[in-house]
A and B are shown apart, each in its own frame.
Chain A
Amino acid sequence: KMFACISFTRSAVAFRNCRTLVVSCVYEFASVSILCVCKVIIKYHKILMTFSHPRCGPMVLDALIKIKNEMDLTLTFRRSCREGICGSCAMNINGGNTLACLNKIDTNTSKVMKIYPLPRMYVVKDLVPDMSNFFAQYKSIEPYLKKKDESKQGKEQYLQSIEDRQKLDGLYECLLCACCSTSCPSYWWNGDKYLGPAVLTQAYRWMIDSRDDFIEERLSKLQDPFSLYRCHTIMNCTKTCPKGLNPGKAIAEIKKMMATYKEKRSSAI
């Protein structure tokens, strides 16, 4: 059953001398149930409305906040830092997954901007996806430092050379916004078992951290057809990352390590 909400247009009359920004957002309400006994319900909301009004910030998040304040108080979306560092406002804008607070509104007023929640995620409401699976997958790769010898824990810093620290550049900056994972077709079709680029990049981040001692264990956790090997280098992830990171490359490096790592007989501790 599909329902489309009514769209309406509204344009400002006054303030011609001020800078005018036209924002069009599309989100309509539709709900589809696949099978009567099926547990899957896909929902996404789309409502079409256009308005032009001065004094709106330049980013899509500013427009969303303005719409929420002035037009539709029930519009629901996640947001926090408004500066592209928290990853809350990740959504699909004009077909690409980005952060709404970093995505500039197109000043070409004739163009419609389409805003959808992140693709193929269960929708809690409007633009808010259910991130539980994503975070559970992140937890499963044990994203923390693991040492074989924990006797020195807390006494002083674990030192690391400059070169070793540079290996973490481009990996630690990940916001876990899920833009990359939700842009990956393999994650769409196998999101339950395939970890996705965001989580795999973090797995790599811990594998190559020189202070971590459990690289072989981390690699052997990926020894199944799904966790890592659903990646077919589609590279949507790198294309869409709002922070300019390269998950595709990180995954390729994992694949290389998986092919070549030597299993050391781990002594019982």
Chain B
Amino acid sequence: YFIPCTAVLLCHTHLSRGLVAYQKNRDIEPFHLAAGRIHTTSAHSVSSSRAASKHWTGERVLSIVLLGMAPAAYLCPSPLLDYSIAAALTLHGHWGIGQVLTDYVHGDAKVKLAKAGVLLLSTATFFGLCYFNYHDVGLCKAVTMLWQI
């Protein structure tokens, strides 16, 4: 949009701001866009999906479980804990990055693309960690070794 602006400085008693010619529908358009996308559910019965709140609860539960795995890994390292940590860690990261995507990526196509990319990343990470657990020393032992450097 081309917006002409004229600024005129009058004498010391007055300051006038620039005049701007607005296009007629300039102001209305942005809001109409916004209004059209305001979330409104139709007035149907209560039996709607609770996926969003379940996801939120799952994220918090997973965080606490992951937190508990840290001392557990220190106190009693085991292959079971290795794989559990691999799963919990990648899922926690996957959901976390998912939230970042929802915040910052806008537009249906871009969101789909980004979510697919992150899914790929998380799957690769999980399989990578499992491979490490199986063929190498395992996560608990690896951290122990790191601390002994």
Q: How far is the CA of A224 from the CA of B38 in the complex (A)?
A: 12
Decide: A223 and B53 in contact? CB cutoff 8 A: yes
Which partner residue on chain A sits nearest B15 by CB separation?
A72
Decide: A137 and B38 in contact? CB cutoff 8 A: yes
Within the complex, the shortest CB–CB distance from A264 to chain B, in Å, comes to: 7
Q: How far is the CA of A215 from the CA of B34 in the complex (A)?
A: 27
| In the assembled complex, A172 has its CB within 8 A of some CB on chain B | no
Partner of A36, one of B1, B38, B48: B1
Contact partners of B16 in chain A: CB under 8 A = 72, 74
Decide: B39 and A5 in contact? CB cutoff 8 A: no
Decide: A230 and B38 in contact? CB cutoff 8 A: no
Partner of B51, one of A43, A74, A126, A223: A223
| In the assembled complex, B24 has its CB within 8 A of some CB on chain A | no
| In the assembled complex, A110 has its CB within 8 A of some CB on chain B | no
| In the assembled complex, B135 has its CB within 8 A of some CB on chain A | no
Q: Residue-by-residue, is B64-94 near A (CB-CB < 8 Å gives 1, otherwise 0)?
A: 0000000000000000000000000000000
| In the assembled complex, A140 has its CB within 8 A of some CB on chain B | yes
| In the assembled complex, A81 has its CB within 8 A of some CB on chain B | no
Q: Residue-by-residue, is A221-261 near B (CB-CB < 8 Å gives 1, otherwise 0)?
A: 11111111110100000000000000000000001001100
Decide: A186 and B103 in contact? CB cutoff 8 A: yes
| In the assembled complex, A45 has its CB within 8 A of some CB on chain B | yes
| In the assembled complex, B146 has its CB within 8 A of some CB on chain A | no
Binding-face segment, A54-62, A93-101, A153-161, A187-195? A187-195
| In the assembled complex, A108 has its CB within 8 A of some CB on chain B | no
Decide: A230 and B30 in contact? CB cutoff 8 A: no
Q: Residue-by-residue, is B101-142 near A (CB-CB < 8 Å gives 1, otherwise 0)?
A: 011101000000000000000000000000000000000000
Within the complex, the shortest CB–CB distance from B41 to chain A, in Å, comes to: 5
Chain B residues with CB under 8 Å of chain A are 1, 3, 5, 7, 9, 12-18, 20, 26-27, 29-31, 33-35, 37-41, 45-53, 55-57, 99, 102-104, 106
Tally chain A residues at the interface, Cβ within 8 Å.
58
Q: How far is the CA of A190 from the CA of B48 in the complex (A)?
A: 23
Contact partners of B1 in chain A: CB under 8 A = 33, 36, 41
| In the assembled complex, A83 has its CB within 8 A of some CB on chain B | no
**Interface SS of chain B:** loop
Within the complex, the shortest CB–CB distance from A24 to chain B, in Å, comes to: 13
| In the assembled complex, A168 has its CB within 8 A of some CB on chain B | no
Q: How far is the CA of A133 from the CA of B49 in the complex (A)?
A: 26
Partner of B38, one of A5, A31, A136, A186: A136
Q: How far is the CA of A216 from the CA of B48 in the complex (A)?
A: 10
Decide: B12 and A39 in contact? CB cutoff 8 A: no
Decide: B34 and A220 in contact? CB cutoff 8 A: no
For residues 35 through 49 of chain A, which have their beta carbon under 8 Å from a beta carbon of chain B?
36, 39-41, 43, 45, 47, 49
Contact partners of B34 in chain A: CB under 8 A = 132-133, 136, 191-192
Decide: A5 and B50 in contact? CB cutoff 8 A: no
Contact partners of A136 in chain B: CB under 8 A = 34-35, 38
Contact partners of B37 in chain A: CB under 8 A = 192-193
Given A230-B103, A259-B56, A259-B57, answer yes or no on A122-B30 (Cβ-Cβ < 8 Å).
Answer: yes
Decide: A31 and B40 in contact? CB cutoff 8 A: no
Q: How far is the CA of A114 from the CA of B3 in the complex (A)?
A: 25
Within the complex, the shortest CB–CB distance from B92 to chain A, in Å, comes to: 15
Partner of A72, one of B14, B30, B35: B14
Contact partners of B3 in chain A: CB under 8 A = 1, 31, 33
Q: How far is the CA of A45 from the CA of B1 in the complex (A)?
A: 18
- Cross-chain pairs A/B with CB under 8 angstroms, 22 sampled: A6-B7, A8-B12, A29-B7, A39-B29, A41-B26, A43-B20, A71-B15, A72-B14, A72-B17, A126-B17, A130-B27, A130-B30, A132-B34, A133-B34, A136-B38, A216-B46, A220-B48, A225-B52, A225-B102, A229-B52, A232-B103, A258-B56
